[in-house]
Amino acid sequence: MVHDELQQSKLSMPDSENGAPFSVLQQLIGLQQEYHYVPRHEIDRLAVSSGVSESHIIGLIEFYGFLHTTPRGEYDILFSDNITEQMQGSHLLADLLSKGLGVAIGTTREDRRVSLDYTSCIGMGDQGPAALINGQTITRLTTNRIGQIIQLIEASTPLSQWPKTLFEVESRAERRDIVLNSEYQPAAAIEACLKKGPAAIFSQLEQAGLRGCGGAGFSTAAKWRFCASAAAEERFVVCNADEGEPGTFKDRFLLQSHAERLIEGMTLCAAAIGARTGFIYLRGEYRYLLDSLQRVLDQRRKERLLGNAILAHDDFNFDITIHLGAGAYICGEESALIESLEGKRGIPRPRPPFPVTEGYSGFPTVVNNVETFCNAALIIQQGPEWYRQVGTTASPGTKLLSISGDCDRPGIYEFPFGTAIAEILSQCGAHQTMAVQVGGAAGRLIPETEFNRTIAFEDISTGGSFMIFNQNRELLRVIENFTQFFRHESCGFCTPCRVGSSLLVKQLNKVMVGHATTKDLEEMSILGSLMQKTSHCGLGQTAANPILDGLGKFPKLFQSRLRATSFEPAFDLDASLEEARLLTGRDDPEAHLEGGGV
Amino acid sequence: MSSPIKVATASLAGCFGCHMSILDIDERLIDLVGHIQFDRSPLTDIKKVGPCDLGLIEGGVCNAENVEVLKAFRRQCKILVAVGACAINGGVPAMRNQYSLADCLEEAYLHGAGIDNPQIPNDPELPLLLNQVHPIHEVVWIDYFLPGCPPSADTIFTFLDELLSGRPIQFAYQQIHYD
């Protein structure tokens, strides 16, 4: 039933890679789709055919959120659990589905028809609440749609026969600037590179001042140059299409509507650095884009813009393979992404060496964000002055923002760098805004007093996430959501992050339930700054940002919930004896505890 | 080192391993004798804690009595120290946290192998179990944490020695790290 339809979209793996350790993750994703889990006999078979150990394979399954060793339902439903979707009522809808189907959230129904759970943001903040069903995206959930889904599942309707409207993902921009207004001319950038040579390309990108659009803002020209100049027999081009930062969905738009630009940018990079192989690391949540991306790749192969002898240059061969992620936020970090491409758990590598010198398979590798490749292609097509006509000196050009939360027109907005937050809020129709979270959970919480600040690398830098909260929102819930997100997504490799992210959740919970005192806030600050200083990668270094920003900019949120005493227990002492009282039937004075601290 | 300080110790949901480690200070105990006077402690069998300079707590909090003892220590001790993994994290006893209390008690007293006259004990003399085992800092404020399972005698001695001398408390790396 559901199987046949899934088989079609099974990953196409180049034959040469089958059986190799690097392909193990992709094969596991295929097995998960086929069986709704990875059965033991397949693990054994894969271990033999790939030459990696069973424990390595089980390690992978346990690491990636979308892989399972126990059977999931034929319909495996994951609700996106980002805060903006919670604000749209996603929890009520999930509860409705849970009741309607008779399956508790976080479990699989006994007849294995359906599983229900939450997952981290799936990049549909502008058309939520959204969910994944067997990896396919369902948008704009309503009580009606939930009712419809219950009927379809109870009738065992194959996913391929579900109404197409359920799966519609709108792809349009609410505001366009120079980049989205420019017409893309196929092959213009690649031809320019083949004609003028790599040095000219690097210098044009440098003049344009293009910086990495994933948020870090590293000079693209410098990155490409470093990679080209590293002595090696092979080089690789990798597109980071793993935008997992909660509230980000601008790459989704580019992948859906402007994939040619991306491929052009990657091919341009390959021509400039001398690479024969490229990868698009597509987050598992965007699986619905897989077929359309494959079609764009095929089309370009037909047009001789990809593959062997590109544009009739016998010595320019370059092709691109799509790798799927499997539900791990950390794989958006470039070295973790490379590990994942190599079929391993996505644990960030120590840096240096950076990927530009030792990346995929140990070879020099350029890893860039989707938007960066798109912009690079257009800059070479239009010239650097075109890009510099907007933006600021330190941050030329524009930035795509994914705007969600409390505003009239959530969606994709292209703004010149240097645009003030207040201006953005007014254009998307935000009213009575209390705060904006810029840059996702790892970004910064900006209060109203700072709305004159601008989106720019020299001011507030962002990968594109822009979540708006009006004055009716409980900001502590927002902070709690982000803090829980980091605990869930910590890869577990280093202690400050693994333990620290759990402790932060506990400490914050103590505040939320009204058991905290001033001392607990001090403890949270100390813990947060310890995590910033000692974590292995950016995840742990930013996991405390929501709490630290909250404490710094909205101290009253926390203080109003504090007890006046010097210290309070983290939980209700007497209530935690209730279960024992019930089991023993006791209610004598000794069976109770006085509340409060000492 | 100046006049003797009063020290109380207790083992809550622990295994007494940390107390064994205190004794493992060996002959250096003789150096400490003149500077330390024990109040409530398994070593003295004094049942009620009096005003003290220092309290050392081993083990996490698993039942109502643990809560009372811990609170009494906090009231009486100027400095309270979490000694060892269980006091700091809950440790081995906290492994029951993944099961409900009912499951634990039913397994132990109703359904386990070789049980005669199955019943869940309900004598008022017995302290009731909390539904979860907690680290002690979730119940009272803790001034210092000595990690380890158990912390080595050397670590405990260093702590006491530094505290008595009034120096800021500092450890050699291997005294509090286990990598």
The kind and range of the H/E element at A436 are: strand A433-438
Which backbone phi and psi does A160 adopt, to 5 degrees?
A: -65, -20
Residues in chain A within 8 Å Cβ distance of B80: none
Q: Give the burial string for A263-274 (b: 16+ CB within 10 Å, else e).
A: bbbbbbbbbbbb
pLDDT of residue A349: 95
- Interface of A to B at Cβ within 8 Å reads 519, 566-567, 569-571, 573, 576-581, 583-586, 588, 590-591, 593, 597-598
pLDDT of residue A2: 40
DSSP state of A11: P
Q: Average pLDDT in the B142-157 region?
A: 95
Cα A386 from chain centre: 31
d(C-alpha A257, C-alpha A239), whole Å: 16
Q: Does domain A477-559 have CATH number 1.10.240.10?
A: no
User: What is the CATH T-level fold of the domain A75-170, as seen in this structure?
Assistant: Glutaredoxin (3.40.30)
Residues in chain A within 8 Å Cβ distance of B102: 579, 583
CA dihedral A278, A283, A288, A289 (to 10 degrees): -30
Residues in chain A within 8 Å Cβ distance of B104: none
* 3-state SS assignment for residue B172: coil
B67, B79, B68: which is closest to B135 by C-alpha?
Answer: B67
d(C-alpha B140, C-alpha A320), whole Å: 59
* Residues sharing a CB contact under 8 Å with residue A144, sequence separation 6 or more, in sequence order: none
Domain covering A398-473: architecture:
Roll (3.10)
**Alpha carbons within 13 A on the beta-carbon side of A442:** 26
Complete DSSP assignment for A277-329: EEEEEE-GGGGGGHHHHHHHHHHHHHTTSSBSSGGG-TT--BEEEEEE--S-G
Cα A219 from chain centre: 22
Which of B68, B105, B128 is the closest to A581 by Cβ? B128
Residues in chain B within 8 Å Cβ distance of A587: none
Smallest CA–CA distance from A523 into chain B, residue? B141
pLDDT of residue A217: 92
d(C-alpha A338, C-alpha A281), whole Å: 9
d(C-alpha A134, C-alpha A128), whole Å: 18
Domain parsing of chain A, residue ranges? 2-63, 75-170, 174-388, 398-473, 477-559
Tokens of B120: 């869940």
Q: Name the β-bridge partners of B7.
A: B38, B54
Residues in chain A within 8 Å Cβ distance of B67: 573, 593
Q: Would you give the end-to-end CA distance of chain A in angstroms?
A: 62
Smallest CA–CA distance from A516 into chain B, residue? B138
pLDDT of residue B33: 86
What count of residues does chain B have?
A: 179
Cβ count within 10 A of residue A144: 8
Domain B5-95+132-176 in this protein, CATH class: alpha beta
Q: Average pLDDT in the B147-152 region?
A: 96
Domain parsing of chain B, residue ranges? 5-95+132-176
pLDDT in tens, B29-58: 888 888 999 999 998 989 899 999 999 999
Residues in chain A within 8 Å Cβ distance of B124: 586, 588, 590-591
Q: Would you give the end-to-end CA distance of chain B in angstroms?
A: 33
Contact check, Cβ <8 Å, A593/B64 = yes
Tokens of A309: 């002898």
Complete DSSP assignment for A57-104: HHHHHHHSTT--SSPPPSEEEEEE--HHHHHTTHHHHHHHHHHHHT--
Contact present, A334 and A17 (Cβ < 8 Å): no
Contact present, A490 and A537 (Cβ < 8 Å): no
pLDDT of residue A18: 44
Which of A570, A590, A593 is the closest to B124 by Cβ? A590
d(C-alpha A493, C-alpha A498), whole Å: 7
Distance from CA of B86 to the nearest CA of A (A): 16
Q: Hey, which bits of B28-89 come out as E strands? A: 36-38, 52-58, 61-63, 77-83
Distance from CA of B121 to the nearest CA of A (A): 7
Domain A174-388 in this protein, CATH class: alpha beta
pLDDT of residue B6: 96
pLDDT of residue A1: 39
pLDDT of residue A16: 42
d(C-alpha B144, C-alpha A87), whole Å: 41
Mean pLDDT in order along chain A per 10 residues (598 residues): 40 47 94 96 95 95 96 97 96 97 96 96 96 97 97 96 96 96 97 96 97 92 97 96 96 97 98 97 97 97 96 95 95 96 95 94 97 98 97 96 97 98 98 96 95 96 95 95 96 94 95 91 95 95 96 94 88 94 94 86
Which of A579, A591, A598 is the closest to B71 by Cβ? A598
pLDDT of residue B2: 60
Tokens of B97: 């946290």
pLDDT of residue A276: 97
